[in-house]
A and B are shown apart, each in its own frame.
Chain A
Amino acid sequence: MKNRSLVSINDFSKEQQIRILDIAEEFEQNTTQRILENFVVATLFFEPSTRTRLSFESAASRLGARVIGFSSSASSSVSKGESLKDTILTVSNYSDIIVMRHPKDGSARYASEVSPVPVINAGDGANQHPTQTLLDMYSIRKTQGTLDNLNIAFVGDLKYGRTVHSLSIALTQFNTTFHLVSPPELKLPSYVKRHIKDKNLAYHQYTDLMDVMPVADIIYMTRIQRERFSDPIEYEKVKNVYNLENAMLAGSKENMRILHPLPRITEISEDVDGNPKAYYFQQALNGVFVRQALLATILGVK
């Protein structure tokens, strides 16, 4: 995997994905290792995403790498009209690897084709966000002891939620049974269902969150995003349909854990945070280990 770009989760085989999770586990045991002291990591965030950027920068810093970059287009030469290609070619002179977040779909694939150094996609528009998928897989494996044969429930905006699409497709490699809870207008798109069907796996669709409570090993909550709706009335209708409260967890399995890509708003009440089944903050921390594993592997140190 040395010098390989990571644009889409499918760029890595199942074995390579598992290898990243195994290396991430080593970093969880021993987070601070100065193994990237001679490397420069560039974090180019053409749109702000503080959480993802800090997670990458923390991962790089804990391994001793230097970090350069910018956190929004306003503070880069993009505001002077520079093309993405020119920015990438320039920055690749100053760094050994580029971590990029960009508002346009497909920008990361394009950057990986013009860049002489490897590119890690930290989100390209509504398209891919593979490091989120890997950290979700890591969190599932860590809480359940396995990725195989699990009942995974996805709740909320399954139509526009990029993380749900990528994770669902990745999980079709592990004999998952899918439980899909959404309002009718926010159902999982047919292209993702097709991946599930192609592997002969089962999916069940619901509108009531309580229906999945007794069967789910993982409940993956998502935020219904206002910016996805052209009609504000449509958003108002669905924005509060799912609100997970602590009392609702009474009938859930002992091993069940709640995941959420964060930030959350109303879909998980704060009274859930103290429940041992709430795992979303630990999930965010796991992102640092997974990103350490990716940086170290792609830079050829692991």
Chain B
Amino acid sequence: MEKEQRKELKVTAIANGTVIDHIPAQNVFQVIRILGLDSSKEMVLFGTYLDSHKYGKKGIIKVSNTFFESDEINKIALVAPSATLIVIRDYKVASKSKVQIPDKVNKIVKCFNPNCITNSEAVPTKFDVIRDEEVLKLRCHYCEKTTTKDNMVFI
């Protein structure tokens, strides 16, 4: 418990907003981009490669005065399926939840197929999420080809 507190202090507490915890340490910057926090006008605090009991190393992001719709936050499930979402109001935990893998992923991932129309015209990408024997794959709405997790490039 003592250790947990010390770690939390590395990233200052926020009064109101959202904490995204248990992000894979190397994916913090991707989460920031997916949620558009790189252009946020609110205070965004983050830490990478923090010690974690559960995961060894982890990342954390804290965003002031920002609360996410579940559709929006679920986009990060592709890079941070284990993430925990904590809503903070007046320095207290108002609610805690896990991200859910969405059924559809729009705009944020590039289609892996170089001959796909989305890679040559200004077409926003659209994918259906399919789980093939527990492996997460994205099936392109346009070219019908499958992009696997290893090949995902975020726009």
Contacts and interface: CB of A to CB of B under 8 A. Distances in A.
A275 to B, nearest CB: 37
Interface stretch (B14-22, B28-36, B93-101, B113-121): B113-121
B144 A107 contact: no
A186 B14 CA distance: 58
Contacts, number: 52
A8 interface: yes
A105 B122 contact: no
B117 A84 contact: yes
B117 A107 contact: yes
A287 B123 CA distance: 32
A105 B141 contact: no
B115 A105 contact: yes
Contacts of B111: 106
Interface in B131-155: 140-146
Q: Main secondary structure on chain A at its contact with chain B? A: mixed
Contact of B144 (A102, A104, A128): A128
Contact of B115 (A109, A110, A125): A125
Given A84-B117, A125-B115, A126-B115, A106 B140 contact: yes
Contacts of B115: 103-105, 125-126
Q: Main secondary structure on chain B at its contact with chain A? A: loop
B144 A127 contact: yes
A126 B143 CA distance: 9
Nearest to A190: B132
Interface string A94-132: 000000001111110110000000000000111110000
Q: Which of A83, A85, A104 has the most CB of B within 10 A?
A: A104
A128 B111 CA distance: 17
Contact of B116 (A8, A83, A85, A104): A104
Contacts of A128: 144
A191 B144 CA distance: 11
Contact of B142 (A83, A103, A105, A126): A105
Given A110-B142, A128-B144, A105 B116 contact: yes
Contacts of A124: 117, 143
A105 B144 CA distance: 8
Interface string A70-110: 00000000000001110000000000000000111111011
Given A84-B117, A125-B115, A126-B115, A106 B144 contact: yes
Nearest to A86: B121
B113 A105 contact: yes
Nearest to B140: A106
A110 B142 CA distance: 7
Interface in A122-169: 124-128
A107 B113 CA distance: 13
The 4 closest A-B pairs by CB, nearest first: A106-B142, A105-B143, A106-B143, A106-B117
18 contacts: A83-B121, A83-B122, A104-B115, A104-B117, A104-B120, A105-B113, A105-B117, A105-B145, A106-B117, A106-B142, A106-B143, A106-B144, A110-B123, A125-B115, A125-B143, A127-B145, A128-B144, A191-B146
